[in-house]
Amino acid sequence: MVTLLTRLLIKNYKNITSPSVQNLYAKLCSVIGILLNFLLFTVKLFSGLISGSTAILTDGFNNLADAATSAASFLGFCLAGIGSGENHLFGHGRYEWLMGFLSALAVLVMGGTLAKSSVTTIHTPKNIEFNLVILLILICSILVKLYMFFYNKNIACKINSSAMKATASDCISDMAATTAILISLIVQYFTGWKIDGWCGLLVSVFIMFSGLKSMTEIIERLLGKSPAVDLVDRITNLIMKYPQVKGINSLIIHDYGLGHYVASMHIEGEEENSVILSDIANEISYKLYLQIDCDTTIQIDYLDPDPVLYDLIYKKAEQEIHAVMFGGGAAVYISRLLGERKNEEAGHVA
């Protein structure tokens, strides 16, 4: 269904690297999540009231919380797609993370409230009605959540969305919680053991764990999570295709959400190629903007091929290290590293 809708509603849906296309993918999945979760909430609310099961009601409100989370994600994606402005030069993509954090906080609070209700049911258990209709409803709920997990996981990996990755993880928790409820109702039907409240408490724990996990992941990105290895490799491979570029250092990448990055780096080359290197730096910036949606600042460092100057620099560095470290084992080790580095660079220049 999601694949069909993307083809019908998203223009240039194959251009997955485009931030605008990524934003449309995220919005579409959020709307589908709202509809499916609200449908599950309605069905489980009705089933829980008919059967008298606190666990089913708890699971239904869990789906309502998921619908609210999807709605918050949709709002976040709308805000993220505003683009750059006077006060936010690199766009508003991080609104997605902010709304994801608030959603996770709401899920955590919801889980705590439902846990309190489940504890009350444990102290005052009640009889539960269980029939074929309720059985089919719970099985269908598990299958719907399984479907939601697959499409959220698939698209989250394509557009690198933390909110959608959190949604996919939440779907797994929901499946486990609904399965536990289904097992508890079957056990109670055949044995008479009133464990409905305990299963409701278990579902509440799943909800709180899911909310806490999502909060942790989003906080990591807000604090400045290290860039993905494949992103660094893409940038490095693109730059090192130019033979005049001898090396890269001080590469810093900032993630501003929805696939938009800001990077700075130093590229190394020989001074005799200074004009060519300037043109290459401009070309690299343009290619990174087109291929990765990355605004780049590049500084050119020129290598000095004079081996005498190398010797002077490294000998001075060794003397300073010995002076600071009083000639200890650490100084010997660092000096050895400097010597190895010197030999590598001298060979590289040669």
The vertex-211 CA angle with 29 and 176, nearest 5°, equals 80
Architecture of domain 2-223: Up-down Bundle (1.20)
- Between the CA of residue 257 and those of 81, 113, 342, what are the distances in Å? 10, 32, 40
The angle that helices 162-191 and 132-159 make with each other, rounded to 10 degrees, is 160
Percent of the chain clearing pLDDT 90 (strictly above): 8
Residue bearing the bigger pLDDT, 293 or 86: 293
pLDDT in tens, 301-316: 887 666 776 677 777 7
Query: Degrees (nearest 5) of the Cα angle 194, 197, 201?
Result: 145
What residues does each domain of the chain span?
A: 2-223, 229-349
CATH among 3.40.50.10490, 3.30.70.1350, 3.60.15.30, 3.40.50.300 for 229-349: 3.30.70.1350
Structural Rg of the chain based on CA atoms: 28
Compare 323 and 65 and report the one with higher pLDDT.
65
Residue 194 CA to residue 128 CA, distance in Å, equals 8
The one-character DSSP state at 87 is: S
Q: What is the pLDDT of residue 283?
A: 92
Helical (H) or strand (E) element with 88: none
pLDDT above 80 (res 192): no
Q: Are 298 and 269 in contact (CB under 8 A)?
A: no
